[in-house]
């Protein structure tokens, strides 16, 4: 709540100001010269460090148990920078299957073509698969646990130890659990990346991202990928994140409580074939989740028991409180059907080979009253004719 805020420096203001300035001025040649000597820590030009951004970064680092954090203008900005920091042309990367789509495009498509990297995909649930995929030139293992598409978990402690023993860097996309529910760095992962556009922002009014890790990595990313590629975080965005962080644990507690209620309701419903939610005892990797996470957030998916597209659309279009949209982690409940976007790129056979069906629904349980949300789902499910 108070960490990183020097209220005496802001006339006692209870909320830090937005430092909306492009540059900082100095008294003398000697003063600016001294600032340049310590440029990773000093305010010189806002494409580098900015005081409002720094307060948000310090709070985020504290939450994650990281030495440092670097904010980015989007989660993808953070992911791209962390990956580029770890690899060179021609390197080999191991990534889990079903990572967030644009991260997959970056690794398996863009960097493959531009930098000649190679990628091996592993399901992520068995350590042997990671071990078998390691080559002489493997430099990075990229994780997402739980993954936002199928909610697969990886054993972070085991993968972290394996990677360290082979001198391979590790990055986890920790957006689903947030630093509140999963301390990935303490479990031995080198760096964690987040889309702050989800729970960390939480109000559906920010696009931002963050990379967190040790000071050496984060200073290198701040100097090179952040400043040279020019991915500057807006002070206003950082200020909104400060606002959001003050309620993050409280919001997460409510997301978790409502999501558990809804997951249990769905699991018991005759028109639902299966529910994917790491907080349910029936979740195949429940024990691993209990070992490495201290809570569960509000994003889950479920499969309707029908494959009839008209019936599926009837359910989808009947919801009133769950709004139709692609993101998650905000105050508002959302629904999305992966078939809408995937079937534009994949055949039905390729789509079902991913373990997803036409009746798959992804919901983000928001902060509305949980009974109202359950009722909304119940009414829409009743509309599906047997």
Ligand X SMILES: Cc1ncc(COP(=O)(O)O)c(C=O)c1O
Binding site for ligand X (CB under 6 A): 74-76, 100, 148, 173, 175, 195, 197, 207, 209, 327
CA atoms within 13 A on the CB side of 93: 30
Of the two residues 40 and 327, which places its CB atom closer to ligand X in the complex?
327
Tell which residue, 280, 278, 279, has the closest CA to residue 268.
280
Report in angstroms how near the CB of residue 328 gets to ligand X at its nearest. Answer: 7
Residue 125 DSSP symbol: S
Tell which residue, 191, 170, 168, has the closest CA to residue 179.
191
Distance CA 277, CA 274 (A): 10
Of the two residues 85 and 271, which places its CB atom closer to ligand X in the complex?
85
Residue whose C-beta lies closest to ligand X:
75
Report in angstroms how near the CB of residue 238 gets to ligand X at its nearest. Answer: 14
Report in angstroms how near the CB of residue 65 gets to ligand X at its nearest. Answer: 20
Report in angstroms how near the CB of residue 343 gets to ligand X at its nearest. Answer: 19
Of the two residues 31 and 326, which places its CB atom closer to ligand X in the complex?
326
Report in angstroms how near the CB of residue 174 gets to ligand X at its nearest. Answer: 9
Any idea how long the chain is?
Answer: 386
Of the two residues 237 and 376, which places its CB atom closer to ligand X in the complex?
237
Distance CA 86, CA 111 (A): 12
Distance CA 238, CA 315 (A): 38
H-assigned helices in the chain: 29-37, 51-64, 75-86, 101-105, 111-115, 127-133, 156-165, 178-181, 215-221, 235-245, 248-267, 286-292, 309-318, 338-345, 348-353, 370-382
Report in angstroms how near the CB of residue 88 gets to ligand X at its nearest. Answer: 24
Of the two residues 173 and 190, which places its CB atom closer to ligand X in the complex?
173
Of the two residues 154 and 306, which places its CB atom closer to ligand X in the complex?
154
């Amino acid at each position: 709540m108070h960490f990183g805020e020097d209220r005496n420096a802001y006339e006692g203001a209870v909320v830090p100001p937005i430092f909306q300035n492009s540059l900082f001025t100095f008294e003398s040649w000697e003063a600016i010269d001294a600032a340049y000597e310590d440029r990773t820590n000093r305010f010189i030009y806002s494409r580098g460090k900015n005081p409002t951004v720094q307060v948000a970064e310090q709070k985020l680092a504290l939450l994650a148990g990281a030495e440092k954090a670097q904010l980015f203008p989007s989660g993808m900005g953070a992911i791209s920078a962390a990956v580029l920091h770890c690899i060179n042309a021609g390197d080999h990367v191991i990534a889990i299957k079903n990572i967030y789509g644009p991260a997959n495009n970056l690794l398996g498509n863009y960097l493959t073509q531009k930098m000649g990297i190679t990628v091996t995909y592993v399901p992520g649930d068995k350590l042997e698969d990671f071990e078998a995929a390691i080559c002489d030139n493997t430099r990075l293992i990229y994780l997402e646990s739980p993954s936002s598409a199928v909610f697969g978990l990886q054993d972070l402690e085991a993968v972290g130890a394996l990677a360290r023993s082979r001198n391979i860097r590790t990055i986890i996309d920790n957006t689903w659990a947030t630093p509140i529910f999963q301390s990935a760095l303490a479990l031995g992962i080198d760096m964690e990346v987040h889309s702050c556009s989800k729970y960390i922002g939480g109000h559906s009014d920010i696009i931002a991202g963050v990379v967190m890790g040790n000071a050496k990595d984060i200073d290198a990313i701040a100097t090179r990928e952040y400043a040279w590629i020019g991915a500057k975080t807006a002070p206003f965005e950082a200020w909104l994140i400060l606002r959001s962080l003050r309620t993050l644990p409280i919001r997460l507690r409510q997301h978790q409580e409502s999501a558990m209620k809804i997951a249990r309701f769905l699991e018991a419903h005759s028109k639902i074939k299966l529910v994917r939610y790491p907080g349910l005892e029936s979740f195949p990797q429940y024990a691993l989740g209990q070992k490495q996470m201290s809570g569960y957030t509000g994003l889950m998916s479920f499969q309707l028991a029908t494959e009839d597209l008209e019936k599926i659309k009837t359910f989808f279009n009947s919801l009133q409180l769950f709004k139709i949209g692609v993101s998650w982690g905000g105050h508002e409940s959302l629904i999305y059907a992966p078939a809408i976007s995937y079937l534009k790129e994949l055949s039905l056979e390729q789509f079902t080979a991913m373990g997803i069906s036409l009746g798959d629904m992804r919901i983000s349980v928001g902060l509305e009253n949980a009974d109202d949300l359950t009722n909304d789902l119940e009414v829409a499910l009743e509309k599906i004719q047997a």
